[in-house]
């Protein structure tokens, strides 16, 4: 075993054995931020949990990635250009008006989604308070996370983090949307959308999860075009996962239900 491998093994063992530092977030204050959980255990950290991080999506990035505001605007702009080139000025005006209306609607939806979202990471689980019309609280125990996938989307470090989960499928795409990785309908993967300093957050999640065993991590980029179990070239070598026992229906585990 070379020195680098030995150092990596030692670091992983230390992460698993060393208690995480106490988070600097007041549990009571979380009740007054974002969508409220009103003390519900699914959406509220318990006294024996340490809050390591909290955050919510960045509005502009959420509108561009989850609601495809930029793509929709570009499509309508192409229609305007085609109408002008073909001499149909009336059609160009209609297309422009529809484009503005569509962009406004998508940004309003993104604003409502960001406003009604709060992500909370504790030393035991990930809590997602989400839902525009109907508030939903999703509880993901860290020991059920088998892989975390990171995509850094902006120069200032905002990005997405998606999670593969062990056990039976208990979470649906409609329940999670837009906080779900695209095109994973058979086994939906919850995703933290447009969060700040995504790489550092992914590392924090990996360190918190190490208390229950290491996870398979891709810290370079989410590749939606590849199979869910595959790895793309250029990724760092992943640590073989040490999975926790699968939690079946009727046992404590993944939870997600309307508030």
pLDDT > 80? residue 254: no
136 plus 35 within the same structural domain: yes
Q: Give residue-wise pLDDT tens across range 81-105.
A: 999 998 888 999 999 999 999 999 9
Last residue of a domain, one of 74, 98, 113: 113
pLDDT grade for 42, boundaries at 50, 70 and 90:
confident
Decide if pLDDT at 141 tops 50.
yes
- Shared domain for 241 and 135, answered yes or no, is yes
Say if residue 148 is in the same domain as residue 238: yes
Counting every residue, how long is the chain? 259
Neighbours of 224 (CB within 10 A): 13
Residue 224 is encoded by which pair of tokens? 């939606």
Q: CA 140, CA 190: separation in Å to the nearest integer? A: 9
Residue 143 and residue 15 in one domain: yes
Query: Could you tell me if 108 and 204 lie in one domain?
Result: no
Q: How confident is the model at residue 46 (pLDDT cuts 50, 70, 90)?
A: confident
Same domain, yes or no: 173 and 233: yes
Flag whether 4 is in a domain.
no
Q: Same structural domain for residues 19 and 46?
A: yes
To which H or E segment does residue 92 belong?
Answer: helix 89-115
Would you say residue 4 has pLDDT above 60? Answer: no
**Domain that residue 161 falls in:** 10-55+120-258
Cis preceding linkage at 96, omega within 30: no
Assess if residue 151 is contained within a domain.
yes
Q: How many CA atoms lie within 13 A of 258 on its CB side?
A: 4
Mean pLDDT, to the nearest integer, of 50-68? 91
Q: Order of strands, edge to edge, in the sheet holding 118-122? A: 51-55, 118-122, 125-130, 136-141, 255-258
pLDDT at 28 over 90: no
128 & 96 share domain: no
CB 157 within 8 A of CB 143: no
In the predicted structure, residue 189 carries a pLDDT above the cut 60: yes
Report the number of distinct structural domains present in the chain: 2
Mark whether 127 and 215 lie in a shared domain: yes
Identify whether the C-beta of residue 151 lies closer than 8 Å to the C-beta of residue 221. Answer: yes
pLDDT value of position 192: 94
Residue 135 confidence (pLDDT): 81
Q: Are residues 168 and 248 in the same domain?
A: yes
pLDDT in tens, 172-183: 888 888 999 988
Confidence of residue 136 (pLDDT cuts 50, 70, 90): confident
Q: Indicate whether 92 and 181 sit together in one domain.
A: no
Q: Which residue, 179, 149, 147, is CA-closest to 164?
A: 147
Among 103, 116, 104, 128, which residue's Cα sits nearest to residue 53? 128
Listed residues 76, 96, 113: the one ending a domain = 113
């Amino acid at each position: 075993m070379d020195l680098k491998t030995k150092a990596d093994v030692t670091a992983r063992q230390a992460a698993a054995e060393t208690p995480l530092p106490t988070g600097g977030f007041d549990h009571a204050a979380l009740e007054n931020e974002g969508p409220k959980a009103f003390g519900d255990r699914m959406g509220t950290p318990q006294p024996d949990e340490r809050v390591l991080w909290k955050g919510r999506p960045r509005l502009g990035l959420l509108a561009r990635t989850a609601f495809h505001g930029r793509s929709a605007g570009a499509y309508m702009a192409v229609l305007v250009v085609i109408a002008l080139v073909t001499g149909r000025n009336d059609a160009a005006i209609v297309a422009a008006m529809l484009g503005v209306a569509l962009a406004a609607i998508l940004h309003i939806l993104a604003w409502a989604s960001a406003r009604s979202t709060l992500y909370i990471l504790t030393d035991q689980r990930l809590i997602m308070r989400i839902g525009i019309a109907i508030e939903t609280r999703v509880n993901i125990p860290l020991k059920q996370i088998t892989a975390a996938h990171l995509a850094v989307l902006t120069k200032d470090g905002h990005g997405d983090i998606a999670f593969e989960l062990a056990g039976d499928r208990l979470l649906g795409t409609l329940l999670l949307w837009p906080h779900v990785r695209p095109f994973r309908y058979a086994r939906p993967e919850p995703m933290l959308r447009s969060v700040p300093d995504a790489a550092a957050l992914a590392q924090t999640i990996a360190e918190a999860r190490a208390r229950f065993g290491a996870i398979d991590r891709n810290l370079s980029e989410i590749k939606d075009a590849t199979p869910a179990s595959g790895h793309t070239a250029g990724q760092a070598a992943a640590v073989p996962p040490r999975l926790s026992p699968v939690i079946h229906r009727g046992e404590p585990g993944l939870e997600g239900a309307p508030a």
